[in-house]
Amino acid sequence: MEKCLQAIVCLKNSVIGSNRQKGNVIAQGVVSRLMQLVEGSGAEYPVGLRVEAAVTLGSLAKGTHQHVKQLIEFGVTPLLLECIMRNEDSKLIETCLRCTCSIFSHSAAPFELIFREPQHTLSHLLGLVSYSVSNQICITTILSASCKTQENQNALCDHGAVYTLAALLCSPHYAVLMPTLNCLANLAYQNPTVSAVIATASYGGKSVPEHLVGLMSRDRPSEMQLASARCLTYLHRAGAISADDPKIIYKTLPCLVVLCKKDRPCEERIVAAESIAYLTEVNTDLQRLASISNQLIPTLANMLHCQPEANNNNIAHDPALVSNMKQAAFRAFASLGANDEDIRKRIIETERLMDEIVCGLEDTSKVVRLSAVRCLHSLSRSVQQLRTSFLDHSVWKPLMALLQGASDDILSVASSTLCNLILEFSPAKEPILESGGVDLLCSLTHRPDPSLRLNGIWALMNVAFQAEQKVKSQILNTLGTDQIFRLLSDPEVNAVTVILDSNHSAEVKEQALCILANIGNGDTAKEFIMTNDQVLKKLQDYMIAAIFCISNLVWKEESGSAERQAKLKEMGVYRLLQQLIMTSDTLLFDK
d(CA 518, CA 468): 11
Mean pLDDT: which of 53-62, 201-210, 580-589 is highest? 201-210
Mean pLDDT across 375-385: 84
d(CA 369, CA 580): 51
d(CA 307, CA 317): 7
Is the pLDDT score of 455 beyond 60?
yes
d(CA 111, CA 205): 34
Is the pLDDT score of 46 beyond 50?
yes
The pLDDT tens digits for 464-504 are 877 788 888 888 888 877 777 776 665 542 222 233 333 43
Helix, strand or coil, per DSSP, at residue 549: helix
Lowest mean pLDDT segment, chosen from 21-35, 52-66, 207-221, 549-563: 549-563
Give me the percent of the chain exceeding a pLDDT of 70: 80
Query: Residue 382 — very low, low, confident or very high, per pLDDT cuts 50/70/90?
Result: confident
What pTM, to 2 d.p., does this model score?
A: 0.80
Mean pLDDT across 4-18: 84
For residue 404, is it left (φ>0), alpha (ψ between -120 and 50) or beta?
beta
Could you count the other beta carbons within 10 Å of the beta carbon of residue 439? 12
Is the pLDDT score of 511 beyond 80?
no
- Asked if 216 and 228 touch (Cβ cutoff 8 Å), the reply is yes
Query: Residue 188 — very low, low, confident or very high, per pLDDT cuts 50/70/90?
Result: very high
Give me the percent of the chain exceeding a pLDDT of 90: 50
Q: Which residues of 515-535 are buried (b: 16+ CB within 10 A; e: fewer)?
A: bbebbbebeebeebbeeeeeb
d(CA 416, CA 44): 68
Mean pLDDT across 125-131: 95
The alpha carbons of the chain give a radius of gyration, in whole angstroms, of 31
| Predicted local confidence at residue 13, as pLDDT | 83
Mean pLDDT across 556-580: 71
The pLDDT tens digits for 330-340 are 999 999 999 99
Is the pLDDT score of 182 beyond 90?
yes
Lowest mean pLDDT segment, chosen from 188-197, 248-257, 300-309: 300-309
How big is the CA angle at 308 (ends 305 and 313), to the nearest 5 degrees? 145
Q: For all residues of the chain together, what is the average pLDDT?
A: 84
- Nearest alpha carbon to residue 67 among 59, 143, 51, 34: 59
| Predicted local confidence at residue 128, as pLDDT | 95
* 3-state per-residue secondary structure call for 368-392: HHHHHHHHHHHHCCCHHHHHCHHHH
Query: Residue 430 — very low, low, confident or very high, per pLDDT cuts 50/70/90?
Result: confident
Is the pLDDT score of 99 beyond 60?
yes
- Asked if 305 and 359 touch (Cβ cutoff 8 Å), the reply is no
Is the pLDDT score of 80 beyond 90?
yes
Alpha carbon of residue 275 to chain centroid: 12
| Predicted local confidence at residue 504, as pLDDT | 39
**CB-based contacts of 309, cutoff 8 Å, min separation 6:** 316
* 3-state per-residue secondary structure call for 44-56: CCCHHHHHHHHHH
Phi, psi of 522 (to 5 degrees): -175, 145
| Predicted local confidence at residue 351, as pLDDT | 86
How big is the CA angle at 415 (ends 413 and 421), to the nearest 5 degrees? 110
Phi, psi of 170 (to 5 degrees): -95, 5
- Nearest alpha carbon to residue 205 among 174, 242, 177, 167: 167
Task: Sketch the domain layout of the chain as residue ranges.
Answer: 1-109, 447-543, 554-591
| Predicted local confidence at residue 192, as pLDDT | 97
Is the pLDDT score of 506 beyond 60?
no
| Predicted local confidence at residue 186, as pLDDT | 98
Could you count the other beta carbons within 10 Å of the beta carbon of residue 463? 25
CATH superfamily of 1-109: Leucine-rich Repeat Variant (1.25.10.10)
Give whole-number Cα distances, 383 to 298, 344, 373, 433, in Å.
23, 11, 17, 19
The pLDDT tens digits for 432-448 are 888 888 898 888 888 88
Mean pLDDT across 84-90: 90
d(CA 591, CA 585): 10
Is the pLDDT score of 310 beyond 50?
no
* 3-state per-residue secondary structure call for 109-176: CCHHHHHCCHHHHHHHHHHHHHHCHHHHHHHHHHHHHHCCCHHHHHHHHHCCHHHHHHHHCCCCCHHH
- Asked if 188 and 181 touch (Cβ cutoff 8 Å), the reply is no
The pLDDT tens digits for 115-124 are 988 778 999 9
- Nearest alpha carbon to residue 514 among 579, 476, 457: 457
d(CA 95, CA 85): 13
- Nearest alpha carbon to residue 189 among 142, 158, 159, 153: 153
| Predicted local confidence at residue 9, as pLDDT | 85
d(CA 62, CA 65): 9
| Predicted local confidence at residue 536, as pLDDT | 54
